[in-house]
Structure 1
């Protein structure tokens, strides 16, 4: 079936799994095929031969619903438990691995600033996404007052870290300067290796679109990129418990996260390589 071939091509490229929901794939892609006057078969060939077309596909298939201070229980754990463990480091590195329009990494920078015991210049935040269009919005750091970005934003943070401008709010420079945005396909392990080592990784509400094989691959890359006993935060509906990833689940009163620390897992991987 031609539609299944397109679904497989998309899965192999970026891990988005529409193979079990082909009608949804057809619905999302039909606007583009109609625009180009192509059949699904012709569009599949077009996609194989034109790498720039992937930017269009990603925009059509990814959901970029996000907002500031999302999942506040996790943010409280990050601020009150994780960050105090990292004090004394010359540089704390944090990765927002699916940053969308930037609300998450900017929120993380604000959480650091709010601690009062970690200077902002001791923190580096890398923010990546596969959707180049949302990255442009993220880099600008400006959000309309009419957007849903501020639905959970406490008033004191809005007043402290934003400047009102042109019917919206601009993130202040001290926060914007802590975040570096880059394009990344999470299945590109070679590119991820160039990022170096991180103390904390956030990848929330992304793995729900992947199958078990793709999840295992992505989480394995996260494991490799984390410092010893580094922390991984996933979305509240996502779980890697029981997948033999090398992470241990840490439960707190407010939420849970994953910690790298299983040396036996590293030994088994090295034997198998």
Structure 2
């Protein structure tokens, strides 16, 4: 495949959503080769096709994004969320709900996990918590809204049996998330590089943006983190993946070290400082 065409396509992808393929063009090539054959286009021609057929971006995003996720991923962090963070917001009401944003939520396992943990906590009345799940990939969002997952799916690899029985309904070869849990989550399509994220999401108390920044370069990371900072209320919490860190990036987030994990809290705009307890 023509290297110039791949570089051009990598530039278009980077401008569109921040995913960096410049150091791994072979990976990009393998992800799009079948689609190019299907369309009968060269890589260089495909760049032009995206400009005249903007709906093709939906298909391309589906091909290049990694949607590996599962329920109760990174249990230490989730335990901290349920045991330490949620009690801080106890007393919220439907008129002043706790608002949580699961950014890059893929097929919905993360926001549904958060909803289950909130329900299990018993700290909130009905309607006192709003969860937003967003992703750039329309196809995975459709799956998320349905709340249907194959019984043999990777999604259930760490699912406690008692939780499965309590919050899921058997539906042929699939399990379906119970309606009461599904009702807690509002799924929206969103590009993390959008300039109007604040208008689309509104102010939130807690953000989960896990295993996303690893696909961005430093410039895109700073842009995304700045957007997260703007929508998060002062004193709110940001959870990243265990392999991601923004400590020392002068973002205005304080790093909080717990016994088995770490996460961030929004302070004012000044260099980060670490905190322990």
Choose from 166, 174, 183 the match for 2:180: 174
Distance in 2 of aligned mates of 1:105 and 1:17? 26
Distance in 2 of aligned mates of 1:65 and 1:3? 25
Aligned to 1:146: 152
Task: Write the mapping of 1:218-237 to structure 2, written as runs, cut at 5 A.
Answer: 218-237=224-243
1:40 aligns with 2:43: yes
1:74 aligns with 2:77: yes
Choose from 48, 53, 57 the match for 2:60: 57
Aligned to 2:119: 113
User: What's the offset of the Cα at 1:120?
Assistant: 4.0
Aligned to 1:270: none
Aligned to 2:23: 20
- The answer for unaligned runs of 5 or more in structure 2 is 272-277
Of the structure 1 ranges 214-223 and 118-127, higher mean CA displacement relative to structure 2 is found in 118-127
Q: Helix, strand or coil: the match of 1:242?
A: coil
Aligned to 2:202: 196
Aligned to 1:268: none
Aligned length: 265
Aligned to 1:209: 215
Q: CA RMSD in A?
A: 1.1
Distance in 1 of aligned mates of 2:127 and 2:240? 26
Aligned to 1:239: 245
| 1:112–1:120 Cα contact (<8 Å) kept | no
Aligned to 1:158: 164
| 1:120–1:178 Cα contact (<8 Å) kept | no
Stretches (4+) displaced over 4 A: none
Q: Helix, strand or coil: the match of 1:208?
A: helix
Aligned to 2:190: 184
TM-score (norm 1): 0.95
- The answer for unaligned runs of 5 or more in structure 1 is 266-273
Distance in 2 of aligned mates of 1:201 and 1:115? 19
Distance in 2 of aligned mates of 1:189 and 1:234? 21
| 1:143–1:149 Cα contact (<8 Å) kept | yes
| 2:234–2:268 Cα contact (<8 Å) kept | no
| 1:7–1:18 Cα contact (<8 Å) kept | yes
